[in-house]
Each structure stands twice: as C-alpha cells, then as structure tokens.
Amino acid sequence: MEALAKAHTNIALIKYWGKRDETLFLPMNSSLSITLDAFYTTTSVEFCSCLKSDMFVLNGNLTNEEETKKISNFLDKVRALAGVNLHAMVSSVNNVPTSAGFASSASGFAALALAATKAIGLDIDHSIVSRIARQGSGSACRSVYGGYVEWEKGVAADGSDSYASPIMDGEAWDLSILSVMVDSRNKKVLSREGMKRTVDTSPFYSGWLDTVEEDLEIAKGAIINRDFGLLGKVVEANALKMHATTLGADPPFTYFQGATLDVMEAVKQMRAEGVPVYFTIDAGPNVKVLCQPENEAYVQKVLAAIPTVQSIYLCHPGPGAKVLSRSSLSGTSKKMLNQFHHHSCTN
C-alpha cells in the first residue's frame, strides 16, 4: 500500500488570515492564490502492518517526535476516512526552503494528502483531497490545484464545503513572481500562532474581515480580465491590511524587517518610474514581487542590487498535485526517497 505524489507551493494573492475553527482548519475568510512552478514537495507514503508506529523522514532525516506527531495526527484523519488502521512510513523531499516563509507546509500537506489517500486505497476526487489537505495546513488546500485557485471558506460547521477550486489555468495568463529572500531563518511567530493571536486580541481584525471578500471579488475579476494593474493594486493593499492587524495584537508583532521595507520601497520606486510591479508578503519577512514576464529581468536586476537581499527565486504559475510513479523520479528526490523506501517485508 504505497503511493508517491508531488505538489507545488502557492502564494496567496488574497490572504487566508484567521480561523473560525482551529481543529478543522476552517477559515474566517475566503482566499485566492497562484500555485508556483519552482517550489514543490515530493512525498511517498507506505502503509504496512509491519510498522509499529508512523515514521516521518523529511529531506533525508528522520524527524523528531513533535514533527512526527503532526504527521500522525494528519494520517489519523486519512485512516478514519478509509477505515484502515495501519501505520505508515512517510518520506518527503522539499524542493523549497523548509520553514522559511516559502510555504513548504502548503506543498508538504498537499503532497501528503494525495499520496496518503492514494496509498490507503481511497478513490476520491481533488476537491476531497483539498478538504483533507486543509486539515494539515489551511493554505495546503489550494496547492492541490495548479494556476489560479480560490479557497471558498464555506459555512458548514463540519467543513464539508471549505475547499479549494481552480478559477483559471496558469497557461491562460503568465505572470512572474519573484520570491525575494531577505532572511532564511525560521520565523519567530508561526502563521498559525500569529493569526490566532490577531483574531483573539487585535481590535483591527474586524476591519480585515470588512473588506477581504470585496478584495477577493476584485482580484478574481482582474484575473479573468487579465488586468495586471488592478490585480497588483488589490493584492498589495490586501497584504498590507493583513499585516496591519498584527500591530494591534496583544502582544503586538510584525513580520516586517528592515530588509522587507527595503524591497517594498524598491518596488514602489520602480512603479513610480512606470514599471507595473507590486509586492505581497506572508507570515515572514520575505517578499514576493509580482510583475509581467516582459519586465521580470529588469525587476530581478533592481532587486538583486539591494544590499539586504540574500537571494531571488523566479517563479511562474505551476501545476496541481499529481500522483507519480517511482520510476519517474530523478535527481535528489530519487536518491532521498529511495534511501527510505521500506518494503523489505512481504505483508
């Protein structure tokens, strides 16, 4: 009972910020993202009666108890759905910096949801995979699909109507997303903790909810009409509104660092010179810069010249999650995943 799957990360254009149910990962608001081509996770899952407990190998290293527990809790949901009670060996390789604000948790849980449901024998469509991925990390539900994706918040208390669906293929409108790394260290306030503190204590949180659904409608319309200026404007404003809520939290916090402001400033400067370019920022100091492909070389050159910028990864819209065969693996993923390919037993 084994399967292998690959899923790409996504960057939120309209942010998911706040949960109405923490156990089921139900969001306060709907959100919108682009799945990215350059960053992805490949995960293999093998359920076997010979395993005494779940094991999780990440990037070639067996993880600690806390990380393994997160995977076990997630697998429990898959086991309950399938009515199967077997432990699993999970091995995963991130082709994205882990825990550095580049959404490894999104590609990680989307790949795990697809590989685990396939390995356990569930024959389900992507919308159910999305619902399951959501319960590992909310933003992971969007990584099940490629291109432009909306996560409809839903209203049902059991979360049955809270999952992602594609709104437009990536090939239908190519955009350039430059992921600008200014700090690769693990974040101080995890997104999960940051959004909870904000919902619980920030007087600005209700202001966030007042306009986010309207922002989403504007962004969706801009995507359908390929209106980059309108999309960029609403995306940047939405990110700033999300970050504004953190300053009102108790204790207050911000994800911005000096280098974050340097990149924001450079983007505004390029815009003042007539280049259509916009930024967005998730729960960390790194900045994602959006522009059209014809301007990406210039934008990359300007950003690379900022002394506080460490590296820049150029991304475009990427594909949805897929089941893979072991023979299709290559390079580092193949080496690492095969290293922990259990199956010496005959069960």
Judged by CB under 6 A, the chain residues 31 through 50 that form the site for ligand ADP are 41, 43
Residue 143, contacted partner among ligand ADP, ligand DP6, none, CB below 5-8 A by kind: none
Residue 255, contacted partner among ligand DP6, ligand ADP, none, CB below 5-8 A by kind: none
SS3 content of the chain, % helix, strand, coil (to 5): 40, 25, 35
Instruction: List C-alpha distances in Å: 41 to 67, 104, 214.
Output: 16, 7, 32
191 vs 202, beta carbon nearer ligand ADP: 191
The two beta strands, 87-95 and 55-58, are parallel
CA pair distance 88, 337, nearest whole angstrom: 14
231 near ligand ADP, rule: CB under 6 A: no
Stretch that binds ligand ADP, among 77-85, 107-115, 119-127, 252-260 (CB under 6 A): 107-115
41 vs 333, beta carbon nearer ligand ADP: 41
Judged by CB under 6 A, the chain residues 175 through 204 that form the site for ligand ADP are 190-191
CA pair distance 123, 341, nearest whole angstrom: 23
DSSP state at residue 85: -
143 near ligand ADP, rule: CB under 6 A: no
150 vs 282, beta carbon nearer ligand DP6: 282
A 10 A CB-CB count for 198 gives 24
Q: Which residues bind ligand DP6 (CB under 6 A)?
A: 12, 15-17, 25, 31, 105, 137-139, 191-192, 282-283
Q: For helices 258-272 and 296-304, what crossing angle results, to 10°?
A: 140
30 vs 94, beta carbon nearer ligand ADP: 94
Residue with tokens 């292998």: 4
Query: CB of residue 183 vs ligand ADP: minimum separation in angstroms?
Result: 12
The amino acid present at 323, given as its one-letter code, is V
In this chain, which of 17, 102, 255, 340 binds ligand ADP, going by CB under 6 A? 102
Counting other chains too, the contacts that 123-128 makes at CB distance below 8 Å and 24 or more residues apart are: 126/320, 126/321, 127/163, 127/164, 127/165, 128/163
- By CB under 6 A, the count of residues binding ligand ADP is 20
- Name which of 26, 73, 77, 74 is nearest 195 in CA terms: 26
| Beta bridge partner(s), residue 40 | 8, 95
- Name which of 244, 267, 270, 182 is nearest 15 in CA terms: 244
117 vs 277, beta carbon nearer ligand ADP: 117
122 near ligand ADP, rule: CB under 6 A: no
Residue 25, contacted partner among ligand DP6, ligand ADP, none, CB below 5-8 A by kind: ligand DP6
257 near ligand ADP, rule: CB under 6 A: no
- Name which of 183, 74, 75, 81 is nearest 138 in CA terms: 74
Residue 15, contacted partner among ligand ADP, ligand DP6, none, CB below 5-8 A by kind: ligand DP6
103 near ligand ADP, rule: CB under 6 A: yes
40 vs 47, beta carbon nearer ligand DP6: 40
Query: CB of residue 133 vs ligand ADP: minimum separation in angstroms?
Result: 10
The two beta strands, 163-168 and 148-152, are antiparallel
Residue 104, contacted partner among ligand DP6, ligand ADP, none, CB below 5-8 A by kind: ligand ADP
112 near ligand ADP, rule: CB under 6 A: yes
318: helix, coil or strand? coil
117 near ligand ADP, rule: CB under 6 A: no
Query: Which residues sit at the interface with ligand ADP, rule CB under 6 A?
Result: 41, 43, 58, 67, 70, 92, 94, 98-105, 108-109, 112, 190-191
